[in-house]
Amino acid sequence: MQANEGATGVAAGGEPDRATASRRQVGPYRVITALDDPRTRIPVPERRYIARSVDGRHTVLLSLPHPGGDPRRFLAEADGSRYLLGPCAAPATALAASDRPAWYARPYLPVLPLPTALAVHGGPLPERTVRALGTALAETLAVLHGQGLTFAGVSPAAVLLAADGPRLTCYGAVRAAAPDGTPRSGLPGLEPGSLPPEQASGGRPRPLGDVYALGATLAYAATGHTAPERDELPAAFRTALSRCLTRDPGARPSLAELADALAGGDPSGSATLLAPGWLPGRVIAALAHQSAAVLTAEIPVEGAAAPVTPPVPQPN
Amino acid sequence: MSSPLTHDDPETIGPYRLVARLGSGGMGTVYLARTAGGRTVALKTMHAHIASDPASRSRFRLETDAARVVGERFGAGVVDADPRAETPWFATEYVLGPPLDEAVDLCGPLPEASVRALGAALCGALGQLHASDVVHRDLKPSNVLVTAYGPKVIDFGIARAAGDAHLTRIGVAVGTPAFMSPEQAGGQEHSAAGDVFALAGLLVFAATGRPPFGHGQAADLIYRVQYAEPDLTGVPDSLVPVLAQCLDKNPFRRPTTDWLAARLHDGTGEFADHLPDVLLADIARRASEVWQITPRRLPRPPEEEHTAAPTAVARPSRRRLLVFGGAALAVAGAGAAAWAWSARAGTGPAPRPTGSGSGRLPRKKLDSVWQIQVAGPPDDTVPARPLVVGDLVVLVAGKGLGGIVAETGHIRFASDRMENTWQVATDGERLIRLVQADGSAHNAGKPGGFPLLLASVDLATGKAAEPFAEFTDVNGVLDQNQLVCTADGVAYVAAGRGTYSIDGFLASQTWYLFAVDISSGKRLWTTTLPARREGSRRLYFLGAAVAGGRLVTLQEANDGTVRAVARDTRSGAVRWDRPLDGVRPDLVRRPPAVDEDHLYVGCGPLRALRLSDGEVAWDTASEHPGATYGPPVVKDDFVYAARKGHGLVGLSGTGGAVMWEERGGQGAAADVTDPPVIGPKYMYNKRGSELWAIAWNSTGAPVRSFRTTGEVFIAHEASAHVIALGGRFLAAFPLQ
C-alpha cells in the first residue's frame, strides 16, 4: 500500500477517493482519504489519513509508519506525544497495541499540511501568516523545552494549519527514523532542509536543533523552500531566520528571541497574531472544503451489525 | 451553534442518528445528524401537528423539491427526504457559512468586491432556479448562506412553481416586506423579475447594512416598497445605477440575471478572494466547530409537583334552588365559599399552593408566568370570559366572582355569589353587575318577583356596593337577564318581565333592552325585544360594543342564526339589523371588533359592515372565496385575524387590503376560534397546544411558543400579560 494513495483527495481540494481508500481498514478505523498531497514533493515522516471509526461516530487523523520504518520506535514517539502541552501541541489520543501493526490517531479537525497550504495559496504565504505561524510554533516549542523535551521532527509537513492556528505533529520523527549515532541524511520521510546538521550526522536531538528546524520550516512558508538564499527571506525576519539556520547550534537564537523577532514587538504574541486574516482566503476555502467533504464522506457499513463490529487488525 | 438534544427528541429519524439540535422554530426542528457510515447532515423536521395539515405537508414537499432543483452548488444539497413520514423530514448537507444577515452583523457593510461577487453568484443561483420554472419569492439576507465557495440559497418555504395554481392561493403579501417586490407587496404575481428586485435589495443590504426601504412595521414597508424610492445612500457609486435598475417598480424594466451578473463581476479570482477577513474567519470557525459537537442529551427535567385542585364541590342546581324562591337564594348564598381557587407557582412570583388535604400529582413544566386553578364555569352553555378591570382579571367561575391580580396571579378576592357569566360587565375600569336581592323585605309583596338591581363591585373586596339602580318593573331573578355592556357611563341591560321558569324563556314573558345612566341610576331609554320561543335557552345577546354613536350587538335569533344590530345610543332606535350568514353563535360570544366606522366579523369571510347603514364596506370573499377567518381584533386602523390554514393576517380597516401576513410557514395550524391577542411586538395565537408569539414587524415570523391548554386568550396590557383561561385554570404569559 502506497503512502500516497488517494492523495488527490479532500486535503488538496478534490473529491475523496472513496473507491480505494475506504476499503482500507486500520485498527478500528476505516480510511476516508489521505491527508498529504504527493504533488508537493515534500517528504512526510508518516503516512497520514483522515479516517473514521467503524461505528461511524469518530473521525480522526490517523498516522502510520512508512513501510520499512521501525514500528516500535514510531509507537514510542507517538506514546511520548500523548503528554505534550502548549497551544499548538497535537497529542496522540489513541495508539495501536504494542503487538499490533502500528498506528496512532487524534481527533479530526480540518487541517492543511503546510506544503498543501502553499499549493492552495499559489505560492509562499503572506508575511502576516508566517509571523503568526512562527510565533505560535515558537511558543509551543518553548513549553516543550520547558518540559525537558526536544521535539525532533519540526518540518514543513509536520506543521498543520487549522482555522485557529497551527498544529505541530510528527513528534520525534528524527528519533524514530534512526537511533542516535546513526547518520540520518537521506532517510525516508525526513525533509533534508529542516534536519539540523548535528542530527543529520547522528547526534542526539537537542532543543537548539528544534530552533534550526523551525527556522527552516518558516523559511519554507515564506519562500517555498527550506534552504533559501538569504535575500529571498522577507526583510522583516531575514536576520532572525538566518540565525536559526546557522550550523553552530550555539549561534542560534533562543525561542524567546525568535518569538519576539517574529511578533514584531507585539507583546501579546500569537494570541493577537492569530486574529481574523491570519490565513489567506484560499487556505480557508480549502479548509472549509475539506471539512464539508469529510462531513459528507460515508464509510461502508457492513450490515446492521456494523457499529458493533470489533476492530479488525490489519494484516501486515 | 448547536445545543444538546432534549430528553424527548428521538434517537433516530429515518436512517439518521441525531447528534444535536441546530435550531428550532415554529415549523419544526433542525438537527445535526449522522448516518451509520458517519455522514453528517442537517436534518430538518416538521412538527407532526403541523404536518397533519395537508397544505403544510405539500409546502414541505415543495421546499424539498425546490432545494433539489437549485442543487448543491447554489443551495444546500438535498441528501434524502421523507415528506410522507408522520414527522416529515429532509436531510441536506451541513452548510459551512453564516447567513448574510449574520455576516453583516459580524463584519459591518461588506466591501464592494464582496457585494459584487455575492451578487454575481446569486444571479447564477437564481438563473438556475428560474430556468427550472421555480421562483424563490422570499430572497432575503437570512435565506442566503455565505460559504467560502459562494452563496447558497436556502429556505424555499414559499417558493412556487411558476403557474402552480395550488400554491398560488398562499395569497398576497407573502414574503418579507423589507425585501418584497412591489408587485408582491401589491398582491400581484411575483415572477422571476420579482426575485431580481429582491436580489438588488439584498445587495443594498450587504453594501450598507440597511434594507433599501428601511425598517419598520409591515404595513409601512409594504407601502414604501410599492411607492417610495429605494435608499441607496452608502452603496458604492459604481453599483448605484445597476442596482437602481433592478429596483425599478416596473418588473418589465428590470434586467435579467445574466445581464446583472455580467455588470457585477468579471469572474476573476476565487470567491474567497473577495471576502473580508472577519467573514472568512467565521467560515473557518464554523468548519472547525462542527467537529467539536459531541452527542449530548439533556436529562428529563425533574417532575415538578403541584397541589391538585380540590375536586369540584358538588353543586346543587341553581335552577332547582330557585324553584323554592327567595328562601333558597339564601341557601345558595351560603355556598359562595365553595369557590374553588388555588394558586400554583409557575415560573413567576405566584405563591405556592395553600390548599391542603390534596394529593400531589406530577405535572408538566409550565411555560406560564403564573397559573392558578379555577373552577369551571357554573353554566357550561355559556363559557366564562375573563374581563380586564384595572390591574385585575375578573372571572365568574365556580359559584362566585373572582378578582386575580394580573401581575402576580394572586387572588385578591373570591366572593359574592355570582353564577351567570353574562350578568357582569366592565368598561375596563369599573366593574358593574346585576345583583339579586336576598329573599328578604326587598321582594315581599312586589309584583313579578324581585327587583332588578345594578351595583358596582368593590375591586378591593369583590363585594357588590349598594345598588345604584333598582327596577321593579322587571323580574330580577330571571336567569336570562343580561348586562349587555357598559360604556361611556351607561349600562345596557336586557331584562324580562313575567314569571320565572326553570326551563328557559316563557312565551308569556316580555323582554326589554334599556340603557341606565350609571351615575344617576336613571333609565335613559327602553326598547322592546322580540319575544323568545317557549322553552328557548338562547340568550338575546352574544356580544356588544359601543362605537360611533352606536350600540352594536350580535344577537342570537330564535332560530339560532346570528344578527348584527346597531342601535342609536341616545334613543335605542334600531338603525339597522342584518343577518350574518354562516356565523355560529358560539364563535362570536365576545365583544365584537368595532372602530368608529365599521363592525368587523370573521367566522367565514372577514367582512366590514358600515356602522352608518350596515352595508358591507368590504369583505374577503371576492379576493379569497372560501377563505375562513377567525374572530378579528382591531388595532390602529388595522384589523387582524387568523386565516384558516394560513395564519395571521392584517388588513386595512378602511379598504380590506392585506397589509401584513404571517410568515414562517407555520400559520396552517393557526387557531381560528379566538381573536389574536396583540402586544407591542408580537401577536399571539394558539396552535395545537401551544400559544405562539408571532412578530408583527417585517419578519412576520413565529418567534416563540408557550405550552398551554388554554382556550380563551385576552390581553392584560397594564401587566403585560396574555391571560389564558382553560377548563380549570387561569394562566398568564408574557405580552410583548
Q: What is the distance between the alpha carbons of residues A88 and A106, in angstroms, rounded to a whole number?
A: 13
Q: Tell whether the model's pLDDT for residue B259 goes beyond 90.
A: yes
Q: What is the pLDDT of residue A19?
A: 40
Check whether residue A52 and residue A197 sit in a common domain.
no
**Residue B574, H or E segment:** strand B574-580
Q: Amino acid identity, residue A91?
A: P
H helices then E strands: how many in chain B? Answer: 13, 45
Q: Best mutation site among B291, B292, B293, B294 for testing chain A: the one with the most A CBs within 10 Å?
A: B291
Check whether residue A294 and residue A155 sit in a common domain.
no
Q: What is the pLDDT of residue A9?
A: 40
B314 or A257, greater pLDDT: A257
Check whether residue A128 and residue A266 sit in a common domain.
yes
Residue with cell 517574529: A262
Q: What is the pLDDT of residue B310?
A: 34
Q: What is the pLDDT of residue B350?
A: 32
Residues of chain B found within 8 Å of residue A291, distances taken between Cβ atoms: 96, 287-288, 290-291
Across the beta sheet with B633-635, what order do the strands follow? Answer: B633-635, B638-643, B647-652, B658-661
Check whether residue A96 and residue A117 sit in a common domain.
no
CATH number where A52 lies: 3.30.200.20
Does A48 map to a domain? yes
Q: What is the pLDDT of residue B588?
A: 86
B408 contact partners, CB below 8 Å, separation of at least 6:
B348, B349, B350, B370
CB B372 within 8 A of CB B352: no
Of chain B, the percentage scoring pLDDT greater than 70 comes to: 85
Nearest Cα neighbor of B179 from B227, B214, B144, B148 is: B214
Check whether residue A139 and residue A265 sit in a common domain.
yes
A166: which strand partners?
A161
Q: Best mutation site among B39, B80, B282 for testing chain A: the one with the most A CBs within 10 Å?
A: B39
SS (HEC) of B678-734: ECCCEEEEEECCEEEEEECECCCCEEEEEECCCCEEEEECCCCEEEEECCCEEEEEE
What is the extent of the structural domain holding A175?
113-273
Q: What is the pLDDT of residue B395?
A: 86
Q: Tell whether the model's pLDDT for residue B172 goes beyond 60.
A: no
Does A118 map to a domain? yes
Q: What is the pLDDT of residue A21?
A: 47
Nearest to B287 among A52, A282, A288 (CB): A288
Q: What is the distance between the alpha carbons of residues A109 and A163, in angstroms, rounded to a whole number?
A: 9
**Residue A141, H or E segment:** helix A127-146
Q: Tell whether the model's pLDDT for residue B544 goes beyond 70.
A: yes
> B485-516: b or e for each residue (b if 16 or more CB lie within 10 Å)?
bbbeebbbbbbbbbebbeebbbeebebbbbbb
Check whether residue A97 and residue A229 sit in a common domain.
no
pLDDT tens for A65-77 read 998 889 999 999 9
B734 or A223, greater pLDDT: A223
B28 contact partners, CB below 8 Å, separation of at least 6:
B44, B45, B46, B47, B50, B87
Q: Tell whether the model's pLDDT for residue B262 goes beyond 70.
A: yes
pLDDT tens for B372-393 read 877 765 565 677 788 999 999 9
pLDDT tens for B689-736 read 888 888 877 777 887 888 887 888 999 998 989 999 887 788 899 898
CB B683 within 8 A of CB B648: yes
Phi, psi of B328 (to 5 degrees): -65, -30
Looking at the complex, does the CB of residue B283 fall below 8 Å from at least one CB of chain A? yes
DSSP state of B445: T
Check whether residue A161 and residue A230 sit in a common domain.
yes
What is the average pLDDT across B210-214?
Answer: 92
Residues of chain A found within 8 Å of residue B268, distances taken between Cβ atoms: none
Nearest Cα neighbor of B491 from B499, B504, B481, B505 is: B481
Instruction: Tell me the pairing of strands B690-695 and B431-435.
Output: unpaired
User: Residue B302: how many CA atoms within 13 Å on its side-chain side?
Assistant: 3
**Residue B404, H or E segment:** strand B400-405
In this complex, do B273 and A306 lie within 8 Å of one another by their Cβ atoms?
A: no
Q: Tell whether the model's pLDDT for residue B355 goes beyond 80.
A: no
Looking at the complex, does the CB of residue A67 fall below 8 Å from at least one CB of chain B? no
Across the beta sheet with A112-113, what order do the strands follow? Answer: A112-113, A159-162, A165-168
Q: What is the pLDDT of residue B373?
A: 77
Q: What is the distance between the alpha carbons of residues B633 and B649, in angstroms, rounded to a whole number?
A: 11
CA distances from B542 to B506, B555, B622 (A): 20, 6, 28
What is the reported pTM? 0.60
Looking at the complex, does the CB of residue B480 fall below 8 Å from at least one CB of chain A? no
Check whether residue A53 and residue A105 sit in a common domain.
yes
Q: Which three cell numbers stand for residue A295?
A: 462531513
pLDDT tens for B405-421 read 898 888 888 776 777 88
Does A40 map to a domain? yes
Hey, which of B266-280, B300-314, B495-509 has the most confident mean pLDDT? B266-280
Does A99 map to a domain? yes
Q: What is the pLDDT of residue B378?
A: 58
Nearest to B288 among A52, A162, A292 (CB): A162
Least confidently predicted of A137-146, B162-171, B475-484: B162-171
Q: Best mutation site among B19, B22, B279, B280 for testing chain A: the one with the most A CBs within 10 Å?
A: B280
A167 contact partners, CB below 8 Å, separation of at least 6:
A88, A89, A90, A111, A159, A160, A161
Catalytic residues of B: 138
Residues of chain B found within 8 Å of residue A55, distances taken between Cβ atoms: 36
SS (HEC) of B326-389: HHHHHHHHHHHHHCCCEEECCCCCCCCCCCCCCCEEEECCCCCCEEEECCCCCCCCCCCCCEEE
Max intra-chain CA distance, chain A: 62
B525: which strand partners?
B515
3-state secondary structure of A193: helix
Of chain B, the percentage scoring pLDDT greater than 90 comes to: 35
What is the average pLDDT across B76-95?
Answer: 89
Nearest to A288 among B277, B283, B295 (CB): B283
B655 or B334, greater pLDDT: B655
Least confidently predicted of A78-82, B505-509, B699-703: B699-703
Q: Tell whether the model's pLDDT for residue B643 goes beyond 80.
A: yes
Q: Which fold does the domain B100-285 belong to in CATH?
A: Transferase(Phosphotransferase); domain 1 (1.10.510)
CATH number where A226 lies: 1.10.510.10
Mean pLDDT, chain A, integer: 87
Q: What is the pLDDT of residue B315?
A: 35
Of chain A, the percentage scoring pLDDT greater than 70 comes to: 88
CB B187 within 8 A of CB B658: yes
**Nearest residue of B to residue A290 by CA position?**
B287
In this complex, do B272 and A287 lie within 8 Å of one another by their Cβ atoms?
A: no
What is the average pLDDT across A76-104?
Answer: 93
H helices then E strands: how many in chain A? Answer: 11, 9
Residue B278 banded pLDDT, cuts 50, 70, 90: very high
Q: What is the pLDDT of residue B381?
A: 64
Q: What is the pLDDT of residue A18?
A: 39
Q: How many domains does chain A have?
A: 2
Residues of chain B found within 8 Å of residue A277, distances taken between Cβ atoms: 277-278, 280-281
A119 contact partners, CB below 8 Å, separation of at least 6:
A12, A37, A39, A40
pLDDT tens for B326-352 read 222 222 222 222 233 333 333 333 333
Check whether residue A31 and residue A141 sit in a common domain.
no
Q: What is the pLDDT of residue A78?
A: 96
What is the average pLDDT across A116-140?
Answer: 95
Reported ipTM: 0.89
Within chain B, all domains assigned CATH 3.30.200.20 are found at: 12-93
Does A1 map to a domain? no
Contacts of B119-122 with C-beta under 8 Å, sequence gap 24+, read: B119/B199, B119/B203, B119/B260, B119/B261, B119/B264, B119/B265, B120/B260, B120/B261, B120/B264, B120/B265, B120/B267, B121/B74, B121/B150, B121/B151, B121/B271, B122/B151, B122/B153, B122/B199, B122/B202
* Gyration radius of chain B over CA positions: 30
Check whether residue A185 and residue A120 sit in a common domain.
yes
Mean pLDDT, chain B, integer: 81
Q: Tell whether the model's pLDDT for residue B672 goes beyond 60.
A: yes
Nearest-Cα distance to chain B for A47, in Å, is 22
CB A94 within 8 A of CB A18: no
Does A2 map to a domain? no
Least confidently predicted of A124-133, A275-284, B265-274, B584-593: B584-593
Nearest to A279 among B278, B282, B284 (CB): B284
Q: Tell whether the model's pLDDT for residue A202 goes beyond 90.
A: yes
Q: What is the distance between the alpha carbons of residues B130 and B132, in angstroms, rounded to a whole number?
A: 5
Q: What is the pLDDT of residue B307?
A: 37
Q: Tell whether the model's pLDDT for residue B563 goes beyond 60.
A: yes
Q: What is the pLDDT of residue B175?
A: 53
In this complex, do A277 and B281 lie within 8 Å of one another by their Cβ atoms?
A: yes
CB B375 within 8 A of CB B340: yes
Q: What is the pLDDT of residue B696?
A: 76
What is the average pLDDT across B517-539?
Answer: 87
Residues of chain B found within 8 Å of residue A164, distances taken between Cβ atoms: 284-285, 288
Contacts of A164-167 with C-beta under 8 Å, sequence gap 24+, read: A164/A274, A164/B284, A164/B285, A164/B288, A165/A87, A165/A88, A165/A132, A165/A136, A165/A270, A165/A274, A166/A88, A166/A114, A166/A133, A166/A136, A166/A137, A167/A88, A167/A89, A167/A90, A167/A111
In this complex, do B93 and A287 lie within 8 Å of one another by their Cβ atoms?
A: no
Check whether residue A97 and residue A19 sit in a common domain.
yes
In this complex, do B147 and A288 lie within 8 Å of one another by their Cβ atoms?
A: yes
In this complex, do A287 and B36 lie within 8 Å of one another by their Cβ atoms?
A: no
> B647-682: b or e for each residue (b if 16 or more CB lie within 10 Å)?
bbbbbbbeebbbbbbbbbbbbbbbbbebbbbbbeeb
Q: Tell whether the model's pLDDT for residue B423 goes beyond 70.
A: yes
Does A66 map to a domain? yes
In this complex, do A59 and B291 lie within 8 Å of one another by their Cβ atoms?
A: yes
Looking at the complex, does the CB of residue B191 fall below 8 Å from at least one CB of chain A? no
Q: Best mutation site among B1, B41, B288 for testing chain A: the one with the most A CBs within 10 Å?
A: B288
Nearest to B96 among A52, A276, A291 (CB): A291
Instruction: Tell me the pairing of strands B469-471 and B482-487.
Output: unpaired
CB A245 within 8 A of CB A230: no
Does A77 map to a domain? yes
What is the average pLDDT across B503-514?
Answer: 87
- The class level of CATH for B12-93 reads alpha beta
Nearest-Cα distance to chain A for B78, in Å, is 12
Q: What is the pLDDT of residue A99?
A: 87
Looking at the complex, does the CB of residue A98 fall below 8 Å from at least one CB of chain B? no
Q: Which three cell numbers stand for residue A96?
A: 495501536
Check whether residue A124 and residue A265 sit in a common domain.
yes
pLDDT tens for B175-207 read 567 888 898 888 777 889 999 999 999 999 999
Q: What is the pLDDT of residue B559?
A: 83
B590 or A205, greater pLDDT: A205
Q: What is the pLDDT of residue A89?
A: 93
